[in-house]
């Protein structure tokens, strides 16, 4: 057995010492071999030719420190020649033209980068254009009962947050119902609505999917007349009518699904994900807000009332925003722009007052207990 | 060159394992890969993982010959796409169920977590099978049989037992799972097996279980457990007559782990901790200690799942870890089976 020795005697007529090890691809037996560089690379063990590899078939593989390890594409897949002698290594690199053809170079890396960038561009396009389009097309296909499911989930959360502080003054409720019903009929919204006033100092109002609209007492107290309030309620009805929540959920779900699956395991991309999602959600919700405003303006016109008071109410709540908000990052259109738009749509009143003075006073005090009046 | 020949001869004569990889080359590789990964938003990770494995494999001399890693990044990419194909429908289904379940106020996330856990176990088995199949040493290939899902349900059941026994069953879990993995591993026509027992691991590590009971001691006991586990694992491996022993020191590994913790928590002192990490562990052939450059880590944005995470995030420590694991493992009777045939074709 010629197992192992690296420094065997030089076989007759062989120019290189036995400084190479050959594995035949059948067993892991170590053949101490000598190399002869003729028309092909001849591998001889104890003077006997055991393999002959054409130079053009030689390929370099990983071989460890100071070792040139090669395979031959025409030999058995695992046949290997390990060359330790630097002179023999130089000989081989000189003869074999395609030695490094399977080792990636800069062009190879460039291709990976190019394809990756193409993939990123494609994903970006899907997120920015594909998802909104898909959401717009899918939303009408989803039954309204799904909106009500979503609304029920959100409603549970609202109840937890506000602790069921519903304002129950009977006269106030009657006035509120009248206002809501008037606006609903004017805007021809045929979704059954559930509306409540919640006793919270936050000046806000919001709609839940499926037709639930909450008005917070803070906003009610800032309102100076029924027209202002009617505009806000109409705006929320716009969200319900456009099914913005469902649309938003499809989009958000789609985007986080796509990005999360592809890059979910990469913390470094968290920033990228955050930025893309924020920018895209913001631009989306701005569009939704503008549409809801348009809905509110149309409803007020149908009532024969001016939408301008709504703009004044909004401005009263937020104040000027332009100075401290970067326009592109704001999730709502800037209040001064909205007020400007609504002033622009101002028409002389042709319709009846929405609420009488008594009804308006009752609505303002809806959150006081009945006996306190 | 002379150097290398000397190392090779030394390794051959002692029939041992040594790591000859150069730290500097390794850092350059990781730094370049991490940069490319940033540019490609993470897609380069498959190529980087492949390059890292190739570098570690070919830098390790076992009985004078470096193993060869023949896996390609394309295979990893395809594997990733396959995983997506399995996970996407599950994710969608869960999404729809989740909406209903949330409404009924059910604790909806548990089934999905369980599925992903089982899938992770499946992936662990398949990852080892992949790496084994792509490893060639002395002209013969390792390969693995066995089923990923069969491994997965075993792992999940064992984890349940471990949970119920507050971790006391962990040694038996490790030995059962390792037996499953190793009895399906082969080198050519030589089957491997695992002779480490749960009881042996328990005897080596029960005091660590006691020390871990107050949870705050975990940062100390975990690396110690890992060292115990590694030594137990190495000396349980059998390839026919061939067996191994390991001198991996608990203190050395503990130092490495603390260097990792220091690295990740103490920003300003990174450099110092890193250097200390590099100095840990005895260098058999190169006495001179090179100061390592760890700023590569700053560019490494993306941990990849699985055991390669540490090699990605902390090239400095990982290469030391790899070297320690390799050069402190001593094969016995490596010369007994020299005529391993290739895997019989079925």
pLDDT digits (tens, 9 = 90+) for B28-71: 888 788 788 778 877 888 888 888 889 888 988 888 889 999 99
Best mutation target among B8, B15, B41, B70 (most A Cβ atoms within 10 Å) is B41
Which of A5, A22, A28 best probes binding to B when mutated, by most B CB atoms within 10 angstroms?
A28
Contact B87 A116 (CB under 8 A): no
Tell me what pLDDT residue B295 has: 28
Tokens of A123: 């994903």
Q: Is the pTM of this model over 0.80?
A: no
Query: B42 and chain A: CB distance < 8 Å anywhere?
Result: yes
How far is Cα B321 from Cα B93, in angstroms, rounded to an integer? 42
- List, in order, residues 6 or more apart from A106 with CB less than 8 Å away: none
Strand-strand pairing, A212-216 and B17-19: unpaired
Distance from CA of B92 to the nearest CA of A (A): 9
Question: How far is the C-alpha of B251 from the C-alpha of B206, rounded, in Å?
Answer: 18
Question: With an 8 Å Cβ cutoff, are B139 and A267 in contact?
Answer: no
For the stretch A112-152, pLDDT in tens is: 899 989 988 888 888 778 888 888 888 888 888 888 877 78
Q: How far apart are CA A48 and CA A42, in angstroms?
A: 10
Q: Let me know: does B83 contact B123? Beta carbons within 8 Å.
A: yes
Of B42, B137, B340, the CB nearest to A269: B42
DSSP state of B213: S
Choice among A38-47, A106-115, B208-217, B258-267 with the minimum mean pLDDT: B258-267
Task: Find out whether A221 and A303 touch, Cβ atoms under 8 Å.
Answer: no
- CB atoms A153 and B99 under 8 Å: yes
Closest alpha carbon to A162 in A151, A170, A154 = A154
Of B40, B54, B136, Cβ closest to residue A112: B40
Distance CA B295, CA B31 (A): 8
pLDDT for the residue numbered B305: 32
Query: At CB < 8 A and 24+ separation, what contacts does A114-119 make?
Result: A115/B43, A116/B39, A116/B40, A116/B41, A116/B43, A116/B44, A117/B39, A117/B40, A119/B43
Instruction: State residue B173's pLDDT score.
Output: 95
Contact A28 B7 (CB under 8 A): no
- Whether pLDDT at B289 is above 50: no
Query: Dihedrals φ, ψ of A13, to 5°?
Result: 75, 10
pLDDT band at B244 (very low <50, low <70, confident <90, very high): confident
- Whether residue B339 and residue A29 make contact (CB cut-off 8 A), yes or no, is yes
pLDDT above 80 (res B165): yes
Give yes or no for a contact between A184 and A241, defined as CB atoms under 8 angstroms apart: no
- The first and second tokens of residue A16, run together, are 């290189």
C-beta atoms of A29 and B61 within 8 A:
no
A230-287 per-position pLDDT tens digit: 999 999 899 888 888 778 777 777 777 776 666 654 433 444 455 555 555 556 677 8
Using a CB–CB cutoff of 8 Å, tell me whether A371 touches chain B: no
Which H or E run contains B137?
Answer: strand B135-137
Is B301's Cβ below 8 Å from some Cβ in A?
A: yes
Does any CB of chain A come closer than 8 Å to the CB of residue B282?
Answer: no
Q: How far apart are CA B84 and CA A262, in angstroms?
A: 8
CA angle B2, B69, B36 (to 5 degrees): 95
Judged by a CB distance cut-off of 8 A, whether residue B339 touches chain A is yes
What pLDDT is attached to residue B199?
94
Distance from CA of A162 to the nearest CA of B (A): 19
Residue B226 contacts residue B251 (beta carbons within 8 Å): no
**Does the CA dihedral A242-A252-B88-B157 come out positive or negative?**
negative
Q: Please judge whether B339 and A27 are an interchain contact, meaning their C-beta atoms are less than 8 angstroms apart.
A: yes
What is the spatial distance between Cα A216 and Cα A364, in angstroms, rounded to a whole number?
11
Per-residue pLDDT at B219:
76
**What is the distance in angstroms between the Cα of B278 and the nearest Cα belonging to chain A?**
21
Compute the distance between CA of residue B196 and CA of residue B172 in angstroms, rounded to an integer. Answer: 10
**Closest chain B residue to A154 measured between Cα atoms?**
B103
Nearest residue of A to residue B305, measured between CA atoms: A265
Within 8 A by CB and 6+ apart from B346, the residues are none
Distance CA A126, CA A258 (A): 9
Which residue in the set B45, B92, B103 is minimally distant from A152, CB to CB?
B103
Tell me, what DSSP letter sits at residue A347?
-
When the pLDDT of each residue in chain A is averaged and rounded to a whole number, the result is: 81
Residue A165 is predicted with a pLDDT of 79
Task: Test A261 with B91 for CB contact under 8 angstroms.
Answer: yes
Question: Do B41 and A3 lie within an 8 Å CB cutoff?
Answer: no
* pLDDT above 90 (res B344): no
Residues of B in contact with A86 (CB under 8 A): 1
* Cα distance between residue B314 and residue B298, in whole Å: 10
Pick from B41, B58, B100: CB nearest A116: B41
CB pairs under 8 A between A and B: 142
Residue B139 touches chain A, beta carbons under 8 Å: yes
Nearest to B47 among A66, A112, A153 (CB): A112
Tell me which residue in A24, A84, A267 faces B139 most closely, judged by beta carbons: A24
Give CA–CA dist B294/B286, Å, rounded: 20
Contact B302 A268 (CB under 8 A): yes
| Chain B residues closer than 8 Å to A112 by CB | 36, 40, 43-44, 47
At residue B77, what are phi and psi to the nearest 5 degrees? -60, -45
**Residue B106 touches partner A, C-beta closer than 8 Å:** no
Q: Which tens digit of pLDDT belongs to each residue from A301-351?
A: 998 999 999 888 988 888 776 655 454 555 667 788 888 888 888 888 888
Cα(B3)–Cα(B6) distance, rounded to whole angstroms?
A: 5
Confidence of residue B105 (pLDDT cuts 50, 70, 90): low
Q: Looking at chain A, which residue has its C-alpha nearest residue B100?
A: A149
Q: Which whole-number Å values give the CA distances from A153 to A159, A197, A342, in the listed order?
A: 10, 19, 34
Considering CB atoms only, which of A69, A86, A265 is closest to B68? A69
Q: Does B341 touch chain A (CB under 8 A)?
A: yes
pLDDT at B269: 36
- Which one of A86, A150, A265 has the shortest CB-CB distance to B305? A265
Would you call B44 and A84 a contact, using CB atoms and an 8 Å cutoff?
no
Q: Do A63 and B68 touch (CB under 8 A)?
A: yes
- B343 near A CB under 8 A: no
Chain A residues 27-66 within an 8 A CB cutoff of chain B: 27-30, 61-66
Interface pTM, i.e. ipTM: 0.75
Sequence-ordered alpha helix ranges (H) in A163-269: 170-186, 217-222, 226-242, 244-263
Report the distance separating Cα A344 and Cα A216, nearest Å. 28
Report the alpha-carbon distance of residue A264 to residue B41 in Å, rounded.
12
pLDDT class for B286, splitting at 50, 70, 90? very low
Q: For residue range B68-94, what is the model confidence (pLDDT) as tens digits?
A: 999 999 998 898 888 878 877 877 776
Contact across the interface for A62 and B188, Cβ inside 8 Å: no
Q: Do A80 and B139 touch (CB under 8 A)?
A: yes
What is the DSSP code (8-state) at residue B310? H
From B8, B38, B57, residue closest to A62, measured CB to CB? B57
Contact B42 A257 (CB under 8 A): no
Both structure tokens of B157: 């059941």
DSSP one-letter code for A200: -
Asked if residue B271 lies in contact with residue B281, where contact means CB atoms within 8 angstroms, the answer is no
B37: how many CB neighbours lie within 10 A of its CB? 27
Residues B145, B147, B152, B158: is their CA dihedral positive or negative?
negative
Helix axes A226-242, A357-364, angle to 10 degrees: 70
Taking alpha carbons only, the member of A68, A75, A77, A65 closest to residue A16 is A68
Determine, for residues A28 and B304 on separate chains, whether the beta-carbon distance falls below 8 Å: no
Arithmetic mean of pLDDT over chain B: 74
**Given CB atoms, is B253 within the 8 Å cutoff of chain A?**
no
A84 → chain B, closest CA residue: B5
* B139/A266 touch (CB, cutoff 8 Å), yes or no: no
Chain B residue numbers with beta carbons less than 8 Å from the beta carbon of A256 are none
Give residue for tokens 């003054």.
Answer: A169
Q: Are B17 and B61 in contact (CB under 8 A)?
A: yes
CA distance B246 to chain A (A): 23
Answer for the pair B193, B238: CB distance below 8 angstroms, yes or no. Answer: yes
Model confidence at A182, in pLDDT bands (50, 70, 90)? very high
Angstrom CA distances, A274 to A124, A260, A268, A283, B70, stand at 13, 11, 11, 14, 38
């Amino acid at each position: 057995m010629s197992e192992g020795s690296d420094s065997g005697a030089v076989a007759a007529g062989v120019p290189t010492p036995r400084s190479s090890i050959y594995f035949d691809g059948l067993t892991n037996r170590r053949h101490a071999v000598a190399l002869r560089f003729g028309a092909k690379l001849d591998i001889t063990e104890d003077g006997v030719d055991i393999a002959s590899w054409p130079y053009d078939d030689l390929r370099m593989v990983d071989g460890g420190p100071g070792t040139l390890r090669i395979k031959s594409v025409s030999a058995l897949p695992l046949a290997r020649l390990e060359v330790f002698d630097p002179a023999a290594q130089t000989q081989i690199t000189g003869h074999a033209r395609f030695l490094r053809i399977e080792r990636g170079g800069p062009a190879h890396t460039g291709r990976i980068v190019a394809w990756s960038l193409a993939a990123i561009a494609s994903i970006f396009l899907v997120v920015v254009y594909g998802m909104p389009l898909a959401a717009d097309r899918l939303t009408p296909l989803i039954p309204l009962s799904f909106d009500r499911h979503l609304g029920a989930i959100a409603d549970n959360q609202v109840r937890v947050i506000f602790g069921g502080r519903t304002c129950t003054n009977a006269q106030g409720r009657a006035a509120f119902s009248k206002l809501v019903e008037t606006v609903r009929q004017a805007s021809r919204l045929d979704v059954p609505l559930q509306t409540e006033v919640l006793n919270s100092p936050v000046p806000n109002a919001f709609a839940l999917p499926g037709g639930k609209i909450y008005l917070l007492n803070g906003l009610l107290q800032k309102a100076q007349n029924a027209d202002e309030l009617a505009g806000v309620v109409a705006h929320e009805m716009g969200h319900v009518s456009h099914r913005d929540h469902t649309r938003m959920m499809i989009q958000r779900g789609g985007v986080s699904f796509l990005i999360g699956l592809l890059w979910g395991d990469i913390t470094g991309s968290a920033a990228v994900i955050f930025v893309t999602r924020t920018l895209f959600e913001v631009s989306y919700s701005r569009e939704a807000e503008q549409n809801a405003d348009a809905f509110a303006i149309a409803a007020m016109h149908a009532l024969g009332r001016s939408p301008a008071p709504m703009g004044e109410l909004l401005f009263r709540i937020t104040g000027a925003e332009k100075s401290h908000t970067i326009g592109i990052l704001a999730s709502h259109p800037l209040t001064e722009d909205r007020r400007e738009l609504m002033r622009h749509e101002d028409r002389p009143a042709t319709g009846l007052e929405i609420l009488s003075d008594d009804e308006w006073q009752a609505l303002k005090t809806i959150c006081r207990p009945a006996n306190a009046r | 060159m002379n150097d290398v020949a000397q190392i090779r001869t030394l390794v051959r004569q002692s029939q041992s394992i040594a790591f000859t990889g150069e730290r500097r080359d390794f850092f350059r590789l990781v730094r370049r890969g991490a940069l490319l990964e940033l540019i490609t938003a993470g897609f380069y990770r498959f190529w980087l993982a492949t390059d890292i494995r190739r570098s570690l494999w070919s830098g390790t001399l076992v009985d004078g010959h470096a193993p060869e890693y023949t896996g390609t990044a394309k295979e990893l990419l395809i594997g990733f796409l396959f995983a997506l194909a399995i996970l996407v429908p599950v994710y969608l289904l869960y999404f729809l169920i989740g909406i209903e379940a949330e409404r009924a106020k059910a604790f909806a996330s548990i089934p999905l977590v369980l599925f992903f856990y089982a899938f992770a176990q499946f992936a662990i088995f398949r990852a080892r099978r992949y790496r084994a199949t792509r490893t060639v040493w002395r002209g013969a290939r390792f390969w693995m049989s066995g089923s990923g899902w069969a491994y997965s349900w075993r792992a999940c059941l064992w984890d349940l037992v471990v949970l119920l026994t507050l971790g006391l069953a962990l040694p038996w879990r490790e030995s059962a799972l390792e037996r499953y993995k190793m009895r399906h591993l082969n080198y050519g026509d030589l089957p491997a097996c695992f002779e480490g027992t749960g009881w042996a691991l328990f005897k080596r590590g029960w005091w660590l279980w006691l020390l871990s009971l107050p949870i705050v001691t975990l940062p100390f006991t975990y690396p110690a457990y890992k060292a115990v586990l590694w030594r137990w694992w190495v000396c349980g491996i059998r390839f026919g007559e061939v067996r191994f022993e390991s001198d991996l020191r608990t203190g050395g590994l503990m130092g490495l782990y603390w260097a990792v913790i220091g690295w990740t928590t103490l920003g300003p002192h990174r450099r110092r901790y890193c250097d200390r990490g590099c100095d840990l562990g005895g260098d058999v052939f190169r006495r001179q200690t090179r100061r390592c450059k760890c700023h590569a880590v700053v560019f490494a944005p993306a941990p990849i799942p699985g055991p390669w995470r540490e090699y990605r995030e902390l090239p400095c420590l990982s290469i030391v870890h790899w070297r320690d694991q390799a050069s402190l493992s001593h094969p016995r009777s490596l010369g007994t089976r020299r005529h391993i045939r290739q895997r019989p074709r079925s």
